[in-house]
Amino acid sequence: MPEKRIILKNCGVIDPGDIHTHLAHDGFKAWEKARNEMTPEAVVAEIKTSGLKGRGGAGFPCGLKWELARREPADEKFLIANADEGEVGTFKDRHLLRHDPFTLIEGMAIAAYAIGAKKAYIYLRAEYHYLLEGLEVAIDQVKQKGFLEHLDMEIHEGAGAYICGEESALMDSIEGKRGEARYRPPFPPTKGLWGKPTVINNVETLMNIPTIILQGSKWFRGIGTEQSKGTKLFSVSGDVKKPGVYELVLGSSLQELVVDLAGAKSIKMVQVGGATGGIIPYSMITTPLAYETVLGSGAVTVFDESREILDFLHRTMEFLAEESCGKCTPCREGTEAMMEILGRLTTGDGKQEDIQALEDLSATMKLSSLCGLGQAASIPVLDTLKYFRNDYETRIKQSVFLRSLRGML
């Protein structure tokens, strides 16, 4: 399937500092259509019918999320654009925010109208502080054109914490607390920010909205696969000739992305979806990229044949242990324990029982962690155990042998 520019259509085309260039490319026509010709319920229904799913990683149906918040009786509701793009290997939202802030704001104007929110936040990660000014200018220009009369829009800057990309931690962060995951239910569309119904959408998800409203859900449903409608942005990095942001129709093959477009050679494996993303060995390089298979945030990190599995895993687990918010035990202790075991395996102190220990820990963490960080932390471990078990076993055998020599000396 080909490259297709729906989300990226304005990037490099408009001037992100001048709303007139955006208006010249159908900017805010979708918002005008929604406002003048559609009820909020009709907007929700249109997005629901489109089959659009969240682009931040979890893939929750966007229309359903909106409907839940819409139906919840409350004196106040909130919309949050999640621009805390902290997932390792993901930089698509940075690209979007820099090159086309207007479409995000338009998507938010429509979303807020649909769910009945009068206040919206853009939660921008501190690492992207250099994008703040451009966003502020864009919001001002949109306001001056009279497109935000129904909505108070504010940028809330983070302060450096991976976990704050997780929606419940993000809300705690806005509330001025440590960004720790919440127990759910209740889910944000029922009780979110300050206990009020809240919709949190990824930047890319929101940027799909204007086009869907203008072209219709039927058109959108015609793109992609059974469960995965539309296009998706992929952030490609690692061992490739041309790292960058690519937009493909969902269901396109991993091979097309990393080999044909990004120019990867002698691939060992590809991780899709960030630090806790699934591992695809080269033998499965034709795997389609979709919600049915692998997708996540669309982070695609390529490893060539020179790369060591255990070294990569140990670094990944170090990261997860560091960024675990610490609220629930399975994640806080589990990531630490896994880091220790993987460190042992890396430095040649591994034991045969370590593989079983990793599998046991994985099962517990997956079942009982509070949020996606702990639940998914073991995915790269389990996937590499499935596809590269030999790497583990060879390392352990060598370690045991070397240690026996040491004992003899």
Partner 1 sequence: MKPIQQEPSRSGRERENLLGKLKEAQKKFGYVSREFIAETARSHGLPISEVYGVTTFYSFLSTRPLGKYVIRICKSIPCYLKNADMIINSVALETGIRPGQTTADGKFSFELTNCIGACDLAPAMLVNHEVYGPLTPGKIAEILKACK
Does 384 bind partner 1 (CB under 8 A)? Our answer is: no
The residue within the footprint of partner 1, chosen from 10, 103, 168, 173 (CB under 8 A), is 173
What is the identity of the amino acid at 296? G
Nearest distance from C-beta of residue 172 to partner 1, angstroms:
10
User: DSSP character for 245?
Assistant: E
Report in angstroms the alpha-carbon separations of 346 from 315, 355, 406.
Answer: 10, 13, 18
Interface characters, 280-299, with partner 1 (x: CB under 8 A): -------------------x
> Interacting stretch for partner 1, rule CB under 8 A, among 61-69, 158-166, 197-205, 387-395?
158-166
> What is the DSSP pairing of strand 267-272 with strand 278-281?
antiparallel
The residue within the footprint of partner 1, chosen from 312, 387, 388, 392 (CB under 8 A), is 312
Does 126 bind partner 1 (CB under 8 A)? Our answer is: yes
> Interacting stretch for partner 1, rule CB under 8 A, among 65-73, 240-248, 369-377, 397-405?
240-248
Question: What is the four-CA torsion angle of 201, 16, 91, 249, rounded to 10 degrees?
Answer: 70
Nearest distance from C-beta of residue 302 to partner 1, angstroms:
8
Nearest distance from C-beta of residue 193 to partner 1, angstroms:
10
Residue 80, beta-bridge partner list: 121, 200
Q: Give the whole-angstrom CA distance, residue 249 versus residue 311.
A: 33
Q: Give the whole-angstrom CA distance, residue 81 versus residue 102.
A: 13
User: DSSP character for 53?
Assistant: B
Q: Give the whole-angstrom CA distance, residue 107 versus residue 24.
A: 17
Nearer residue to partner 1 within complex by CB, 19 or 96: 96
Q: Give the whole-angstrom CA distance, residue 152 versus residue 97.
A: 19
Nearest distance from C-beta of residue 286 to partner 1, angstroms:
23
> Interacting stretch for partner 1, rule CB under 8 A, among 46-54, 241-249, 344-352, 367-375?
241-249
Q: Give the whole-angstrom CA distance, residue 100 versus residue 350.
A: 49
337 contacts: CB under 8 Å, gap ≥ 6: 357, 361
Interface characters, 64-103, with partner 1 (x: CB under 8 A): ---------------------xxxxxxx-xx---------
Does 253 bind partner 1 (CB under 8 A)? Our answer is: no
Nearer residue to partner 1 within complex by CB, 142 or 275: 275
CA 387 to chain centre: 25
Tokens for 296, please give them.
């996540």
Does 192 bind partner 1 (CB under 8 A)? Our answer is: no
Nearest distance from C-beta of residue 226 to partner 1, angstroms:
31
Does 235 bind partner 1 (CB under 8 A)? Our answer is: yes
Size (the chain), residues: 409
Site size toward partner 1 (CB under 8 A) is: 50
Nearer residue to partner 1 within complex by CB, 22 or 327: 327
Nearer residue to partner 1 within complex by CB, 132 or 400: 132
Nearest distance from C-beta of residue 64 to partner 1, angstroms:
28
Q: Is 262 left (phi over 0), alpha (psi -120 to 50) or beta?
A: alpha
> What is the DSSP pairing of strand 267-272 with strand 152-157?
unpaired
Nearer residue to partner 1 within complex by CB, 17 or 195: 195
Nearest distance from C-beta of residue 38 to partner 1, angstroms:
32
Q: Residue 103: exposed, middle, or buried by beta-carbon count in 10 A (0-12, 13-18, 19+)?
A: buried
The residue within the footprint of partner 1, chosen from 78, 113, 128, 147 (CB under 8 A), is 128
- SS3 letters across 318-331: HHHHHHCCCCCHHH
Residues at the interface with partner 1 (CB under 8 A): 85-91, 93-94, 125-130, 157-162, 173-179, 194, 235-239, 243-245, 271, 275, 299, 301, 303, 307, 312, 315-316, 319, 322-323, 325
